[in-house]
A and B are shown apart, each in its own frame.
Chain A
Amino acid sequence: MIPPPLPVLAAIAAAALLTAALAMMLRNLIHSALLLVLTWVFVAFFYLWAGAPFLAFAQVVVYVGAISMVVLFAVLLTRRHDPAKPTRPASLARACSALAVSGGAFAVLAWAVLQWRPVPGNPPPAEPSVATLGAALAGPQLHALLITGVILTATLIGAALIASPVEKPDSSQ
C-alpha cells in the first residue's frame, strides 16, 4: 500500500482544528455540538490516513453514533433562556479551577506526545489487521481490557444510582 501523501494529513488536521475552534467560539450550543461531531469525523479520517481503519470505524461508531447523542441530549436538557447572551462563569474560583484542570490535561497530553520516541529494534507490524488487533486484545492486553470493562461497568452503575430517585414515590398519594 502506498502511504498517503503529507498534504492529505495537513488538510485533515486543518479541517479538524478549524471545526474544533469554531465549536468553541460559537454561541449556539447545538451548533457547537454538531461541529464537535464533525471534528470527531475528521479525527476518524486521520486514523484512516494513519492506516488504522478499525480504529477509524470504531471512532465513528462510538463518537458520531453514541457520544454525540449524549452531548446533544445533555445540551437539550440544559435550560437556557437566552442563547445569544454570553454565559459568565459563576465565580472567579470556578473559572480558575476550570482553567487549571483543562491546562493540566493539555500539559499531560503534550508531555506524553513530546516524550514519545520510536522503540528501536521493535518496529510496529506493517499492516495491523483486525485479527492481530483482536489477538493482542485477548492475549497480552487482556488485563487492561478487563480493567477498563470493570471501570466502565462501575461508572454505569454509579450513573444509574445517581439517576434513580432516592426515595420511592409515595404510593398512598
Chain B
Amino acid sequence: MPVTLETFPLALRDWLCAFLPQEFHWLLSGLLVIIAILTVFGLGFAFITVAERKFLGRFQNRIGPNRVGPFGLLQPFADAVKALTKEDIVPATADKLPHFLAPCVIVSGALLCFAVLPYGRHLVPADLDAGLLYFFAAGAFTELAVFMAGWSSHNKFSLLAGIRALAQLVSYELPLLLATLPAVMAARSLNLQTIVGSQSPAAGLKAGFLPNWHLFSPWGAAGFLIFLIAAIAESNRSPFDLPEGESEIIAGHLTEYSGFKYALFFMGEYFGLIALSGFCATLFLGGWQAPYAALEVIPSWVWFGLKVAALIFTFIWIRATFLRLRMDQLMRFSWKFLLPLALINLGTAAFWLLTAHWQGAWWIALRWFAAAALVIAPYSILGRRLFRGLGARTYEYAPNN
C-alpha cells in the first residue's frame, strides 16, 4: 500500500512495529491503538471543554476563558492540575468501594465505546460483526455507575437524584436504539463499517445533488433528529441536564464527589458525548465518507473528525439556546412523543427500502412524498394532541402583551 495521507496512521504503526520481533506485533499494534485513542480523545476532551466555554461565552456576549495560555487555550490543563490537587472528600458513612468504583466504571464504559467506531477507511480498532450491539453494551455501564454513585454516597438527595437520572437514561435509551435500527435495515448488517459503506458516494447522489447519506432521506432525517435528541438526554446535557441541574439541585448524584473523582465523571460524560457524536456520524452522516467523490482527496479520518466536531458544536449551540425541561415534560416527551415516532420511523424506512426499485420521475416523486408524509403526519398529529392546551404561560401581574 503506498503511503498517502489516507494510510499514514497505518504506515506509522507498521514502522513502529518493525522495531520488535514478529511475535510481539499483535501486542504492540493493540497497545498503539489504545494509546492513539486515549491521546486523541483525551486531548479532544480537554479542548472540547475549552471550546464549549469559549462558545458559550460568545453566545452570551462575553469573552470566556482567556487568561491561561494564548486565547485561554491552556485552560483545561490548569483545570486538570486544580482537580488533581483538590481534597478528595469521601463521606464518613459512604459505602467506600462502590463510591470509589463509580467514576472508574463511567469512564471505562465510555472509553469502551471507542473500540468499534470506524474512524477512517482503514481505521477501525475492532471491526466486530455486531459492532452496533457492542456500542450499546458498552454504554450500558453508565446506568450502573450512576446508580452506584447515587447509592453509595449515603445521602438521600444523592440517591433520589440518582434514581431520577436513571429514569432519564432508561427512558431515552429506547428511542436512541430504535432510531439506529433503520440504518441497520438499510445496510442489512450490524457491522458499523458496512453501515458506512452503504452510504458511499459511489452509489450515486440522493435526488441528484445531495450526498448519499442516510440523513438526506425522509426516514434518515427523522431518525437523525430522534437520535440527536436522545443522545443529548443520554449524555445529561442541557436542555436535559436535570440530573445535575447545577442551579437547582447541585449536581444530584455527584453531590458527594469532589476533586479528581468529580473530574472523572465529567470526563466520562464528555467521552460519552464524543462517542455518541461519532456513532451518529457513522449512522446518518456517512461516517468517514466524503460527501462527493471529488472530495476524496481529503483523508477519510479528517472527514470523520470534521463531522464529529460539527455535531459537538451543534450540542454546544443547543446547550446555549434551550431552557431546561421539567421532569414530567422530560418523561412525556420520551415515552409519548419520541418513542412512537421512532417506531413509526421503522415503518417509513421499510417503505423506503421496499420501494427502492421504483423508476421514473413520477414514481420517485411519489416515493419521496409518501415517505415524507409518513414522517411529517405522525409528528404533527402527535405534537398537536400531546401539547394541546400547553401554550405560553400567562402571569397575572405581567401579562404577555
Contacts and interface: CB of A to CB of B under 8 A. Distances in A.
B133 A61 contact: yes
Contacts of A53: 128-130, 134
Interface string B126-159: 0011100110111111011001100100000001
Contacts, number: 64
B166 A34 contact: no
A54 interface: yes
Interface string B96-127: 00100000000000000000000000000000
B170 interface: yes
B255 interface: no
A22 interface: no
A30 B152 CA distance: 10
A40 B130 CA distance: 19
Of B98, B140, B141, chain A has the most CB atoms within 10 Å of the CB of B140
A72 interface: yes
Interface residue tally of chain A, by bracket?
20 to 34
B133 A54 contact: yes
Contacts of A129: 129
Interface in A46-97: 53-54, 56-58, 60-61, 64-66, 68-69, 72-73, 76
B189 interface: yes
Contacts of B73: none
A16 interface: no
B344 interface: no
Contacts of A130: 129-130, 189-191
Contact of B140 (A31, A61, A73): A61
A34 B141 CA distance: 12
Contacts of B130: 53-54, 57, 130
Contacts of B191: 130
Contacts of B190: 54, 130
A131 interface: yes
B144 A37 contact: yes
B140 A72 contact: no
A53 B95 CA distance: 34
Contacts of B170: 66, 69
B129 A64 contact: no
Nearest to B177: A61
Main secondary structure of the interface of A (DSSP, over half): helix
A14 to B, nearest CB: 21
A49 to B, nearest CB: 15
A65 B143 contact: yes
A56 B144 CA distance: 18
A83 to B, nearest CB: 11
Given A54-B130, A130-B129, A61 B166 contact: no
A170 B163 CA distance: 30
A61 B144 contact: no
Contacts of B188: 131
Nearest to B140: A65
A87 to B, nearest CB: 20
A72 B129 contact: no
A64 B138 CA distance: 10
B144 A68 contact: yes
Nearest to A41: B141
Contacts of A64: 137, 140-141, 144
Contact of A34 (B98, B139, B163, B189): B98
Contacts of A54: 129-130, 133, 190
Contacts of B147: 69, 72
A54 B131 CA distance: 9
Nearest to A63: B140
A156 to B, nearest CB: 14
A60 B140 contact: yes
Interface string B59-71: 0000000000000
Nearest to A72: B147
A110 B11 CA distance: 53
Contacts of B134: 53, 57
Contacts of A58: 133, 137
8 tightest CB-CB pairs across the interface, nearest first?
A: A65-B140, A60-B137, A57-B133, A57-B137, A54-B130, A64-B140, A130-B129, A61-B137
Interface of A: 30-31, 34, 37, 44, 53-54, 56-58, 60-61, 64-66, 68-69, 72-73, 76, 129-131
Interface of B: 95, 98, 128-130, 133-134, 136-141, 143-144, 147-148, 151, 159, 163, 166, 170, 173, 188-191
24 contacts: A30-B95, A31-B95, A34-B148, A53-B134, A54-B129, A54-B130, A56-B137, A57-B130, A57-B133, A57-B134, A57-B137, A61-B140, A64-B140, A64-B144, A65-B137, A65-B139, A65-B173, A68-B143, A69-B143, A69-B166, A69-B170, A72-B151, A130-B129, A131-B188
